[in-house]
Amino acid sequence: MKYLKSFNEDITNIEDESYILKKKFIDKYVHGVCNVDNLGRYSVDGDVIINNYKNSTLPIEFSNVSGSFHITSSDIYDLSECPTHVGGDFYIFKCEYINSLKGCPTH
């Protein structure tokens, strides 16, 4: 990534529904520092622990998570928004709608 900016710098209109959805998601599931690159992908210095998420897709696309990335007991349908690189554990459990590992980390 050439340039990272903080999540709050990325969004200029706080009234935007997309902003609110992303902010709530990050506040609840991201345990660390979250930055967004110029392509709109999110990098986390820390862990992402998603439990009981009841939407079919994640509201943000991850590029890198330095710690662990866990999704448990959630209703997501695919892993397309998952990070390409995870420094810790990558763990998917009790996600009955996922039927492919396409999109899971390569590192």
Residue 30 exposed, middle or buried by CB count within 10 Å (0-12, 13-18, 19+) = buried
- Cα 104 from Cα 3, distance rounded (Å): 24
Q: What's the mean pLDDT in 28-45?
A: 95
pLDDT in tens, 67-101: 999 999 999 999 999 999 999 999 999 999 998 88
Place of tokens 């209109």: 13
pLDDT higher than 70, residue 13: no
For residues 103 and 84, is the Cβ–Cβ distance under 8 A? no
Binning pLDDT at 50, 70 and 90, where does residue 19 land?
confident
Residue 103, both tokens: 């999109």
| pTM of the model as a whole | 0.83
- Report the 10 Å Cβ neighbour count for 38: 11
